[in-house]
Amino acid sequence: MAFESKIKTIEWVDNVSRMIDQTVLPKEYKTVDIKTDKEMFFAIKDMIVRGAPAIGIAGVHGVSLAAIELSKSITDKSEFLSKLKERGEYLKSSRPTAVNLMWGVNQQIELASKTQGNIDEITKALIENGIKLENEDIEINKKMGDYGAQVVPKGATILTHCNAGALATVGYGTALGVIRSAFAKDPTIKVFADETRPRQQGARLTTWELTSDGIPTTLITDGMCSYFMSKGMIDMVVVGADRIAANGDTANKIGTYTVAIAAKYHNIPFYIAAPLSTIDISIKSGKEIPIEERSHEEVTHINGDWICAKDVNIINPGFDVTPNELITGIITEKGILKPDFKTSINNALKS
């Protein structure tokens, strides 16, 4: 059963990509209109839009915006297609870890080269494909929600990390979609949300989303999860994913691996919720997933203030990789994949 969420994170409106500005939530709710592929590059890089499926759609819209701009000055189709490909490569370089961005851009470039007709017809096809993919994203999330809700125990307290919600997708969410669907069946479930240092997606975004929907949520700091697990206060973990390798190893927000180890130690089921577009079948294991290194200021500052010694060394990887042996199941739109993941992933992609 689907629980309605009113949040529409990214949407094509009147030839612009309209998105919720996630850098200012929850203090302020505002949308921004992205009008060019260059603006889209920075919207992704600066995390106005973030979360793997949402940046996948941002990549799709980015190619449509590039096509609109190029169509104003280019009349030769092969020149148009070659410039469009270049712009696509540029968009893909905005963030390296979430494979959905590459998936979104590649789909559009492939569609452009296959579409019969002139430049205007290609541009129209790209825009229409973007709108179709937006709607599909929400449908896929609702399907994942329904599958995932089946493994949520009655009255469970679910721990989640980062934000894999409506804000990380077009709407409804992946991990938070599972929570929404479970809550629709059983309003006694509760959520513990990790704050998710350094950018606080859990504190800023997940608590905003869930409490807006009336889902009881407790905010904890990242280091607290094993304490609450040891007290028997967490029944399951559900998180999202930025890239899943062919063997099920999963990259997600930094800190996810720590949660998975703690869950294994305490015998708590640990689920990933992600659409099949998050699976990168071209890589054998998580070792090959590129990990984004983010600005050091995210660690040295909180709300613009220095919080540490000025000459300290900083390392700030945005993601980590949870090895497949720590994962109980991967919740997808085609059902819940179980170990061995190499086989179950292959079967899901073929079906």
Catalytic residues: 242
Q: Which one of 19, 164, 170, 246 is in contact with ligand MRU (CB under 6 A)?
A: 164
From the list 11-19, 161-169, 180-188, 281-289, the region that binds ligand MRU by CB under 6 A is: 161-169
Does residue number 51 form part of the binding site for ligand MRU (CB under 6 A)?
yes
Closest separation in Å from C-beta 307 to ligand MRU: 20
Does residue number 318 form part of the binding site for ligand MRU (CB under 6 A)?
yes
Closest separation in Å from C-beta 267 to ligand MRU: 24
Q: Which is nearer to ligand MRU, 98 or 125 (CB)?
A: 98
Binding flags for ligand MRU, 221-240, as an x/- string (CB under 6 A) = -------------------x
Contact 70, 78 (CB under 8 A): no
Which residues is 279 bridged to in the sheet? 244
User: Which residue, chain included where needed, has tokens 């640990």?
Assistant: 270
Does residue number 253 form part of the binding site for ligand MRU (CB under 6 A)?
yes
Does residue number 168 form part of the binding site for ligand MRU (CB under 6 A)?
yes
Closest separation in Å from C-beta 216 to ligand MRU: 21
Q: Which is nearer to ligand MRU, 269 or 318 (CB)?
A: 318
Burial environment of residue 29 by CB neighbours within 10 A (0 to 12, 13 to 18, 19 or more): exposed
Q: Which is nearer to ligand MRU, 87 or 204 (CB)?
A: 204
Closest separation in Å from C-beta 177 to ligand MRU: 8
Binding to ligand MRU in span 89-128, by CB under 6 A: 98
Q: Which one of 10, 43, 48, 52 is in contact with ligand MRU (CB under 6 A)?
A: 52
Does residue number 252 form part of the binding site for ligand MRU (CB under 6 A)?
yes
Does residue number 242 form part of the binding site for ligand MRU (CB under 6 A)?
yes
Closest separation in Å from C-beta 321 to ligand MRU: 12
Q: Which is nearer to ligand MRU, 119 or 215 (CB)?
A: 215
Residues in the interface with ligand MRU (CB under 6 A) total 17
Token pair of 134, please? Answer: 């937006």
From the list 79-87, 164-172, 279-287, 303-311, the region that binds ligand MRU by CB under 6 A is: 164-172
Residues that bind ligand MRU (CB under 6 A): 50-53, 98, 162, 164, 168-169, 174, 201, 240-242, 252-253, 318
